[in-house]
């Protein structure tokens, strides 16, 4: 479900004050290995506990945060929090953190990541940075330079929402992403015709040829799970397995025992 951004000016000051007031929280959605049905990672997704409006999903306030430049301090907080939480998990479980285009252009990004890893003690290979194709539309040389700087830290790098932009294919040739995340729009329609399933099939084949893993996003039904698995996707993420949950619920449901159980409830948006 797409939520309308809080675009009016009256939302800007509360958004800036919310971080200092402790109103933000990270929820974590499992990413599941399709071969073993074990959790391999959790994606960190930010939520805003607005004092009047209640829990607000990120696609409501993130556009405004980017517009007013607040996304940089908010992203720094999320990076530190995600690394600190992941450091308490079993050693084979990674955490994935999204980078916005504004964050990616921030001159202090590398130092923020280094600091978050050092403060938490999280090994770099357990942190995965997810970037969207919007980032790849920027200056090629500078973008590639930053990607290689991040890679030198030892972190994993994933291309998020693959198939929704314009420059992905050229970047796949010039930068070794660790993972391609197939956009939920293709997974949603995978049973309705040959178009989406052919796209998924082509992406998986291309990724396999380049030595990259593939994660199907937005898997909500068993039919979708079976389809993406049969096409060779290595991992899935979606409400069929679990919605995003607070860290304490994640620990209780999935990390106190190594064999996760599937939730039966579904929801409308990540």
Mode of pairing for the β-strands spanning 245-246 and 24-33: antiparallel
Residue 11 domain-assigned? no
Q: What is the mean predicted confidence (pLDDT) over 11-36?
A: 89
Note the pLDDT tens digit of each residue in 146-164.
Answer: 999 999 999 999 999 886 6
**148 belongs to a structural domain:** yes
CATH of the domain at 148: 3.20.20.450
The pLDDT of residue 110: 96
Task: Give one word for 216, left, alpha or beta, with left for phi > 0 and alpha for psi -120 to 50.
Answer: beta
**Average pLDDT over the chain, rounded to an integer:** 86
pLDDT at position 97 over 90: yes
Q: Which residue has the higher pLDDT, 260 or 212?
A: 212
d(CA 103, CA 45): 15
Packing angle, helices 109-120 and 71-86, rounded to 10: 30
pLDDT at 134 over 50: yes
Residue 161's region, left for phi above 0, alpha for psi from -120 to 50, else beta, is left
Exposure b/e, 106-121, CB count within 10 A at least 16 = b: beebeebbeebbeebe
pLDDT digits (tens, 9 = 90+) for 206-258: 999 999 999 999 999 999 999 999 999 999 999 999 999 999 999 999 998 65
Residue 165 confidence (pLDDT) above 90: no
**Per-residue model confidence (pLDDT) at position 40:** 96
Cα-Cα-Cα-Cα dihedral sign, residues 36, 160, 217, 201: negative
178 in a domain, yes or no? yes
Indicate whether 247 belongs to any domain: yes
Q: What percent of the chain has pLDDT over 90?
A: 60
Least Cα distance to 213 among 86, 28, 40 occurs for 40
CB 226 within 8 A of CB 191: no
**34 within 8 A of 229, measured Cβ to Cβ:** yes
Which residues make beta-bridge pairs with 29?
43
Whether 184 has a pLDDT exceeding 60, the answer reads yes
Q: Decide if 188 is inside a domain.
A: yes
What band does 201 get if pLDDT is binned at 50, 70 and 90?
A: very high
Q: Say whether pLDDT at 5 is over 60.
A: no
Kindly list the distances between the CA atom of residue 218 and the CA atoms of 10, 45, 101, 152, 180, in Å, as whole numbers in the listed order: 33, 14, 22, 31, 14
Residue 100 within any structural domain of the chain: yes
Query: What is the tens place of the pLDDT at every residue in 40-61?
Result: 999 999 999 988 888 888 888 9
| Residue 243 covered by a domain | yes
For position 4, what pLDDT does the model report? 40
pTM: 0.88
**% of the chain exceeding 70 in pLDDT:** 87
- Sequence-separated contacts (24+) of 3-11 with Cβ below 8 Å: 3/57, 3/59, 3/60, 3/269, 4/60, 5/59, 5/60, 5/61, 5/63, 5/64, 6/56, 6/60, 6/61, 6/64, 7/63, 7/64, 11/61, 11/64
Over residues 113-133, the mean pLDDT reads 96
Rounded Cα distance, 76 and 112, in Å: 6
Measured N-to-C along each axis, helices 222-230 and 194-209 cross at an angle, to the nearest 10 degrees, of: 40
Rounded CA-CA distance 147/141 in Å is: 10
**Residue 190's pLDDT band (boundaries 50, 70, 90)?**
confident
DSSP 8-state secondary structure symbol assigned to residue 35: T
pLDDT of 264 higher than 60: no
Specify the pLDDT at position 258: 53
Domain-embedded: residue 157: yes
- The tally of domains found in the chain comes to 1
Domain hosting 77: range is 25-255
Q: Over 70: is that where the pLDDT of 270 sits?
A: no
In the prediction, which pLDDT does 173 show?
77
Report the Cα–Cα distance between both ends of the chain, in Å, rounded: 9
* 260 band by pLDDT with thresholds 50, 70 and 90: very low
Question: 28 near 85, Cβ under 8 Å?
Answer: yes
């Amino acid at each position: 479900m797409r939520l309308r951004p809080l675009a009016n000016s009256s939302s800007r000051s509360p958004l800036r004050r919310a971080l200092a007031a402790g109103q933000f929280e990270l929820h974590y959605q499992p990413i599941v290995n399709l071969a073993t049905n074990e959790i391999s990672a959790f994606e960190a997704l930010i939520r805003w506990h607005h004092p009047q409006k209640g829990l607000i999903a990120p696609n409501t306030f993130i556009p405004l945060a980017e517009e007013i430049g607040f996304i940089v301090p908010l992203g720094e907080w999320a990076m530190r929090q995600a690394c600190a939480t992941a450091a308490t998990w079993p050693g084979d479980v990674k955490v994935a953190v999204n980078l916005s285009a504004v964050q990616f252009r921030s001159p202090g990004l590398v130092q923020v990541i280094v600091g978050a890893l050092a403060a938490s003690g999280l090994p770099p290979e357990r942190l995965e940075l997810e970037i969207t194709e919007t980032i790849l539309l920027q200056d090629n040389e500078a973008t590639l330079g930053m990607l290689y700087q991040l890679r030198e830290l030892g972190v994993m790098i994933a291309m998020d929402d693959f198939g929704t932009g314009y420059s992905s294919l050229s970047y796949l040739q010039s930068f070794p992403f660790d993972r391609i995340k197939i956009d939920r729009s293709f997974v949603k329609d995978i049973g309705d015709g040959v178009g989406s399933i052919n796209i998924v099939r082509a992406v998986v084949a291309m990724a396999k040829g380049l030595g990259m893993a593939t994660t199907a996003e937005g898997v909500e039904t068993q039919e979708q799970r079976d389809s993406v698995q049969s096409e060779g996707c290595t991992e899935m993420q979606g409400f069929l397995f679990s919605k995003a949950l607070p860290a304490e619920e994640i620990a209780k449901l999935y990390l106190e025992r190594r064999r996760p159980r599937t939730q039966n409830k579904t929801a409308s948006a990540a």
